């Protein structure tokens, strides 16, 4: 899930932010709002909306595939597909925050700099501190996913979409293993600290 956020969500967010920067007037404001709308919708609404989209019998996604000639029924929450289905929902739901942060940084880069160099040589290096923060937040966000996963699959089928936060909830508040749930929470915090420290060292090493 973290790899999906870093390798899919954030590169697309950077590209979209760069494209928005080239727009002007009402078009820029309109698309900025459109991309951010999923972030202000309730997690419960998002989860149930996508449950209908993924429904194998009457869901929008399978009906769209029928238009292109595919007549089968894909179970989007099968053991093979569930993790990708959840990933798509989470990327779509959280896309706006990353895009808006990148967009703000790009907006504050002096346009004069572009006269001497291209996008990859100017924009990305100047965005490095923000990319570091967003990558760190993406990994931590992936580790702590609970509400959307709980409402979509509850970790299933089997453990195909099981994440630490959802597993903690199951053990502490459904199996009533409070001590075990507390231990999971402690380990989760340690992992988040190690990830943050590790990423800081990686980015600092590349800076050197």
pLDDT along the chain (208 residues), means of 10: 91 91 84 89 92 92 90 90 94 91 88 66 82 88 88 90 90 93 92 87 71
Q: Per-residue b/e over 22-40, b at no fewer than 16 CB within 10 Å?
A: eeeeeeeeeebeebeebee
Task: Return the pLDDT at 208.
Answer: 54
What pLDDT, on the 0 to 100 scale, is given for residue 16? 92
pLDDT at 45: 93
Residue-level pLDDT at 139: 87
DSSP letter string over the chain?
-HHHIIIIIHHHHHHHHHHHHH--HHHHHHHHHHHHHHHHS-HHHHHHHHHHHH-TTT-HHHHHHHHTT--S---TTSTTTHHHHHHHHHHHHHHHHHHHHHHHHHHTS-GGGGGTS-HHHHHHHHTHHHHHHHHHHHHHHHHT--HHHHHHTTT-STTTT--HHHHHHIIIIIS--HHHHHHHHHHHHHHHHHHHHHHHHHHHHHH-
pLDDT value for 126: 82
Inter-CA distances, 195 with 2, 56, 58, 102, 107, Å: 11, 38, 41, 22, 29
Per-residue pLDDT at 182? 94
**What is the pLDDT, as a whole number, of residue 85?**
95
pLDDT at 183: 94
In this prediction, residue 124 carries a pLDDT of: 80
Residue 51 pLDDT: 93
Instruction: Give pLDDT, residue 151.
Output: 93
Residue 22 pLDDT: 84
pLDDT at 118: 66
Tokens read off for 38: 């999923």
What pLDDT does 204 receive?
A: 78
- What pLDDT does residue 12 have? 93
> For position 196, what pLDDT does the model report?
85
């Amino acid at each position: 899930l973290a790899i999906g956020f870093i390798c899919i969500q954030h590169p697309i967010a950077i590209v979209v932010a760069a494209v928005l920067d080239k727009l002007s007037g009402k078009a820029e404001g309109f698309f900025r709002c459109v991309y951010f709308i999923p972030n202000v919708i309730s997690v419960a609404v998002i989860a149930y909306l996508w449950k209908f989209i993924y429904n194998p019998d009457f869901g929008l996604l399978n009906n769209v595939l029928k238009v292109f000639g595919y007549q089968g029924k894909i179970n989007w929450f099968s053991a093979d597909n569930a993790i990708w289905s959840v990933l798509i929902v989470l990327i779509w739901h959280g896309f706006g925050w990353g895009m808006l942060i990148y967009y703000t940084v790009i907006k504050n880069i002096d346009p004069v700099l572009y006269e001497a160099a291209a996008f990859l040589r100017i924009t990305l290096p100047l965005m490095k501190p923000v990319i570091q923060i967003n990558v760190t937040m993406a990994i931590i966000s992936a580790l702590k996913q609970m509400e959307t996963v709980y409402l979509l699959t509850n970790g299933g089928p089997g453990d195909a979409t099981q994440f630490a936060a959802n597993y903690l909830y199951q053990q502490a508040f459904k199996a009533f293993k409070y001590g075990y749930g507390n231990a999971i929470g402690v380990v989760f915090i340690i992992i988040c600290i190690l990830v943050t420290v590790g990423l800081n060292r990686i980015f600092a090493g590349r800076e050197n």
